[in-house]
């Protein structure tokens, strides 16, 4: 019973870690997406591409990690440069990868992510990322900054993601990490229809769970 309480309580902390050394992106208003020219080559997002996540509590101990499947999308390339692109994230394919956590409690965490407190996957089964700008900018292992509209739930905000991009032999790979504020997308315990008691409980939860979410993209796309 004690372990059950620990793992269920840990669900309140996931999707909330600003990992050491990660980049932070201040969300802005949605921007115009890029359109590829007729001469651009199209690369299809390959199976196995993922959005990674990490989470922890603001206070106390306990960290968690996992992935969400990227199920479809395409990226346009012209003269060796990304000129447009988008992909879909299947919010019903959340995976917890904590090796020490029993499967039973992993499922409890996933159930919490799927509820209205977080992503309400019944109402919003997918998330989406659409590229709005790509800038060549070397910084450590990163080669570019990719800007795009990220849609979670029913909110769309523009973010910047430093990324390492490689295009060669009909294959494109892109890996990038950033930190976003969950409140910008309405991922918030405090809902309009709550009673005063429920609002007080929500405020307590929001004080425990960091507003920051660290996300990472690991994409592979193959030329058509």
Average pLDDT, integer, range 173-186: 90
pLDDT exceeds cutoff 60 at 16: no
Per-residue pLDDT tens for 46-91? 999 999 987 665 544 556 778 999 999 999 999 999 999 999 999 9
pTM (2 d.p.): 0.80
Report pLDDT for 55. Answer: 67
Q: How many helices (H) and strands (E) does the chain have?
A: 3, 10
Domains within the chain, CATH numbers bracketed: 2-223 (2.40.128.110)
**Who contacts 192 (Cβ-Cβ below 8 Å, separation ≥6)?**
none
Write down the mean pLDDT value for the chain: 82
Angle of CA points 14, 18, 19, to nearest 5°: 100
What is the CA angle 15-17-20, rounded to 5?
A: 150
């Amino acid at each position: 019973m004690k372990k059950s309480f620990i793992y269920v309580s840990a669900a309140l902390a996931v999707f909330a870690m600003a990992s050491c050394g990660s980049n932070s992106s201040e969300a802005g208003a949605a921007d115009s997406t890029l359109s590829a020219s007729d001469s651009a080559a199209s690369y299809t997002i390959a199976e196995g591409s993922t959005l990674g996540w990490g989470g922890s509590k603001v206070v106390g101990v306990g960290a968690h990690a996992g992935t969400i499947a990227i199920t479809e999308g395409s990226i346009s390339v012209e003269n060796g440069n990304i000129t447009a692109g988008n992909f879909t994230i299947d919010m019903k394919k959340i995976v917890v990868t904590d090796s020490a956590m029993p499967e039973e409690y992993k499922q409890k965490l996933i159930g919490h992510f799927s509820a209205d407190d977080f992503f309400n996957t019944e109402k919003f089964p997918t998330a989406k990322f659409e590229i709005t700008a790509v800038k060549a900018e070397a910084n450590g292992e990163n080669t570019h900054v990719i800007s795009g509209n990220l849609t979670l739930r029913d909110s769309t905000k523009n973010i910047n993601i430093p990324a390492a991009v490689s295009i060669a032999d009909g294959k494109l790979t892109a890996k990038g990490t950033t930190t976003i504020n969950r409140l910008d997308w309405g991922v918030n315990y405090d809902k309009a229809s709550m009673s005063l008691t429920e609002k007080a409980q929500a405020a307590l939860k929001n004080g425990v769970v960091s507003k920051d979410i660290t996300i990472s993209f690991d994409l592979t796309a193959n030329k058509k």
